Every structure is written in C-alpha cells, then in structure tokens.
C-alpha cells in the first residue's frame, strides 16, 4: 500500500503587518493585555481588494508545487481548508483550480476551522493510500481581516486573528521509512455555538425575537442577510474564550498522545511538535503537560496571530525553512478549534 509524504511545502503571508498598538486606533485594547494573554505581537492583513483567501492560497501552493519538483498540471486533486472563503459558495477549491490553470481535477472544500488543515491532510492521505491519487494539493488559507468586528465590542476576538496561507503537496511514496504514519480526527458538536459565526445561515435566527412561522418565504429570504443582523453586529464571529481555552488544553495533549501511542512512541521521541497557533499560553500548557523541551515545540503566533486553517502549514513551512526539520525526524501536527474539532498527524519527515 502506498504511503503519503510531504513532497513540497509553501507559505504566504500578506505584506501588511499590524501591531497590537496599531489596533488601538479601532478599539480599546493594549499591547500588554494581548501579549500577556495570547503571546501575539503582530499579525498580517491581506490587501483589501487585491488579495483574497484564494489568491493567498495560490502563492503558497505555487511554492509547494515548485519545491515538490512538479508542475500544477501534475496535481490530481485539491483539498482546500478555510473558514473565510471568497464566496459563500462555490468553495475556494474550484477558484484555486481555475487560478492555477489546473486540469479538470476534483476540488474538495473542508470546513473544520482551526482543525481544517489536519482534516484536509487526513482526507488526502486516505486518497493516496487507496492508490486513487499520486499528488494532492492540500491548502489552508484565511482572510480573517475582512470579517472581524474592529470595535471594542469585538476586541476579544479581533486581536487574535491574522491572514495567511500554507500549502503542501502530498505525494505517494513506496518508502516505508518516511511519510504520514497516522492521522486522528475528533469532534464534539455539543459546544458548536461556543466558537462560531452564526450568520448568515439557515438556522432559526438568533438575531431577533420574532415569530418566523408568521412570515412568508419572500420575507424570510430577506432575513438571510438583513439590516437588523448588521445593526446588531450578528454577522461577526462569537467566542467564549475561557471555555475554548479549558477544552483546548485537555484535547491537545490527548490527541497528541493518541498519535504517539498508535505508533509506539513517547513524547520524548518527538523531534518537533507543531501545534495549531491558537494561543501561545495554550501551546505552553501543552508543552508542560507533555514535558517537552523548548526545541521540541514550534510557535510563531507572536508574528502571525491565529490564522486558523493556515496556522499549521505556515508554522510547519517556517520551521522547515529554518532548518528545524531534517530527514527522518518525527514531526507531530496537532490542532483544536471551533466545532469543537481536534486532530493530529504523526509523520516521519
Ligand atoms: N484588550 C483589552 N481588554 C480586553 C480585550 C482586549 N483585546 N478583550 C477582552 N478584554 C477584557 C474583557 O472585556 C474583560 O474585561 P472586564 O473584566 O472588564 O469584563 C477582560 O478583558 C477579561 O476578559 P476575558 O474574556 O475573561 O479574558 P480572558 O482572560 O479569558 O482572555 C482570551 C481572553 C480570548 C485571550 C482567552 O480566553 C483565550 O485565549 N481563549 C482561547 C481562545 C482561542 O484559543 N481561540 C482560538 C481557538 S482555535
């Protein structure tokens, strides 16, 4: 049975850097509050009109494809993870296929927020193991800066998120010594509303107390994206940060240990852990819990914020570019986020 390995990796972050102090012009916040609670110093924001989730993905994907030594025409399938798509539909997968002038290959969109890249990687891994595809482009890309509440009302969320993209070419290999050893996916929908963006959506509307049974279809249609919704700021993400924190510090270590046990390893065997960059405090907690040394964990949230589905491939790419990952290294990727969903992947580089 073929295995899958990362044959090429790329990342892209927009040029514009926004420091914590610069956010003060929009909301009542301060650098010390943000750094103490999250570790974040700055983040990148995409160009308002010229950059989208898809254009950033194209940049990251082009680098990954080049580093894999193949061309866009060799890609058999796309798996695209994002929570900030260019359009409500169609998803970014087809936009990437078009932008990169690829063949009429399949393009799948994954909606698993912060765990999105690991879900995408796992899906791609299964397609390669069955022999169906040889080169799969797996992407995580986010343009958060266009959908955040830049007022004091939204400060607990808006200061955390940043824009960027990461991509890998997952390739079939017969080499039993390298590649993805296993992936592990989990969810618990009980907490779906704790970290969520409710609108626009087709749920029983949260944003006004009305008897919707009394409305006809035309009126309901007007409510999908209404003035009321915007006036009440119901079109922004919601997060109960403390509940997210409490669950994350349990599920991160759990899913990392699951991957290690499955393959007969201990935390001390990890050469590099790349946790999803949710919050530096969460990563530090996980490090302590697993008794990992500083050189076994890679964090870069200080400079990018939380880039959701892009955070794991960006951190993996940056660590690799810095020479922190060598052939034969045991690398663990782990994520936790909205849903709740959480996931891990263990690989030999
Ligand atoms: N700047 C300054 N003050 C802020 C602020 C900001 N950006 N955001 C919130 N505050 C204020 C609150 O209004 C509150 O003030 P009050 O005590 O006067 O009411 C105070 O700080 C504490 O707010 P709280 O939400 O309880 O802070 P916290 O200590 O829980 O930290 C998070 C907030 C978001 C940093 C923290 O909960 C967290 O990191 N959670 C995990 C989030 C995460 O990882 N999300 C991504 C998941 S993938």
Residue 99 has pLDDT above 70, yes or no: yes
What percentage of residues in the chain have a pLDDT greater than 70? 96
- Closest residue (by CA) to atom 32 of ligand 1? 241
Q: Which tens digit of pLDDT belongs to each residue from 270-305?
A: 999 999 999 999 999 999 999 999 999 999 999 999
Q: Is 242 in the pocket of ligand 1 (CB under 6 A)?
A: yes
Where would I find the beta strands (DSSP E) of 174-229? 179-187, 195-196
Is residue 278 within 8 Å of 116, Cβ to Cβ?
A: no
Ligand 1 pocket: which of 19, 23, 151, 156 to mutate (most atoms within 8 A of CB): 156
Query: In this predicted model, what pLDDT tens digit does every residue of 157-185 receive, in sequence order?
Result: 999 999 999 999 999 999 888 999 999 99
For residue 191 and ligand 1, the question of a CB distance below 6 A is answered with no
What confidence score (pLDDT) does residue 210 get? 59
pLDDT digits (tens, 9 = 90+) for 62-90: 999 999 999 999 999 999 999 999 999 99
Residues marked active site are found at: 114, 276, 306
Report the C-alpha gap between 201 and 233 in whole angstroms.
14
DSSP state of 104: S
pLDDT at 66: 98
CB count, 10 Å around CB of 37?
16
- What is the residue with the minimal CA distance to atom 12 of ligand 1? 156
Span 110-168, pLDDT tens digits: 999 999 999 999 999 999 999 999 999 999 999 999 999 999 999 999 999 999 999 99
pLDDT in the model for residue 44: 98
CA distance 305 to 314: 11
- 238: CA distance to ligand 1 center in Å? 12
- Closest atom, ligand 1, to C-alpha of 159: 7
CA nearest ligand 1 atom 35, residue: 37
**155 close to ligand 1 (CB < 6 Angstrom):** yes
Q: Is the pLDDT of residue 208 over 60?
A: no
Q: Exposure of 34 by Cβ count < 10 A (0-12 exposed, 13-18 middle, 19+ buried)? A: buried
The residue among 206 and 230 whose pLDDT is bigger is 230
205 pLDDT band, cuts 50/70/90, is low
Distance between CA atoms of 103 and 29, rounded to whole angstroms?
48
Residue 204 has what pLDDT? 61
% of residues, the chain, pLDDT over 90 = 87
CB atoms within 10 A of CB 67: 17
pLDDT (tens digit per residue) in 338-348: 999 999 999 99
Dump pLDDT digits (tens) for 212-257. 666 677 777 777 777 877 888 888 999 999 999 999 999 999 999 9
Our answer on whether the CB atom of 249 is closer than 6 Å to any ligand 1 atom is no
All domains in the chain, ordered by first residue: 3-173 (3.40.47.10), 179-191+239-348 (3.40.47.10), 198-235 (no CATH)
Question: Is there an atom of ligand 1 within 6 Å of 306 CB?
Answer: yes
All residues at 6 or more sequence positions from 71 whose CB lies less than 8 Å from its CB, including other chains: 65
Cα 325 to middle of ligand 1, angstroms: 34
Please provide the average confidence, as pLDDT, over all residues in the chain.
Answer: 94
Give the integer Cα–Cα distance in Å for 144 and 22. 17
Stretch 17-31: mean pLDDT: 96
Mean pLDDT along residues 255-272: 98
């Amino acid at each position: 049975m073929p295995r899958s390995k990362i044959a090429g990796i790329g990342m892209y972050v927009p040029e514009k850097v926004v420091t914590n102090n610069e956010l003060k012009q929009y909301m009542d916040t301060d650098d010390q509050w943000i750094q103490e609670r999250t570790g974040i110093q700055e983040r990148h924001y995409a160009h308002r009109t010229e950059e989208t989730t898809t254009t950033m993905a194209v940049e990251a994907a082009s680098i990954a494809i080049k580093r894999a030594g193949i061309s866009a025409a060799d890609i058999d399938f796309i798996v695209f993870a994002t929570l900030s798509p260019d359009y409500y539909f169609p998803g970014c997968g087809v936009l990437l296929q078009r932008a990169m002038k690829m063949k009429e290959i399949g393009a799948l969109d994954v909606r698993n927020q912060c765990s999105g890249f690991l879900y995408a990687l796992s899906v791609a891994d299964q397609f390669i193991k069955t022999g169906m595809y040889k080169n799969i482009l797996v992407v995580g890309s986010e343009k958060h800066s266009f959908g955040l509440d830049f007022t004091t009302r939204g400060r607990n969320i808006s200061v955390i998120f940043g824009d960027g993209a990461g991509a890998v070419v997952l390739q079939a290999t017969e080499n039993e010594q390298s590649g993805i050893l296993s992936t592990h996916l989990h969810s618990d929908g009980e907490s779906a509303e704790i970290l969520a963006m409710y609108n626009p959506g087709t749920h029983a509307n949260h944003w006004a107390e009305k008897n919707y049974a009394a409305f006809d279809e035309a009126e309901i249609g007007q409510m999908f994206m209404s003035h009321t919704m915007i006036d009440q700021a119901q079109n922004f993400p919601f997060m109960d940060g403390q509940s997210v924190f409490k669950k994350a510090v349990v599920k991160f270590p759990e899913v990392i240990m699951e991957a290690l046990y499955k393959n007969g390893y201990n935390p001390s065997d990890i050469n590099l852990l790349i946790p999803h960059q949710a919050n530096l405090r969460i990563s530090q907690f996980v490090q302590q819990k697993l008794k990992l040394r500083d050189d076994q964990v890679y964090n870069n949230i200080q400079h990018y914020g939380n880039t959701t589905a892009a955070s794991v491939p960006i951190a993996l790419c940056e660590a690799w570019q810095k020479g922190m990952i060598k052939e034969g290294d045991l690398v663990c990727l782990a994520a936790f986020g909205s849903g709740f969903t959480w996931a891990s992947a263990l690989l030999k580089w």
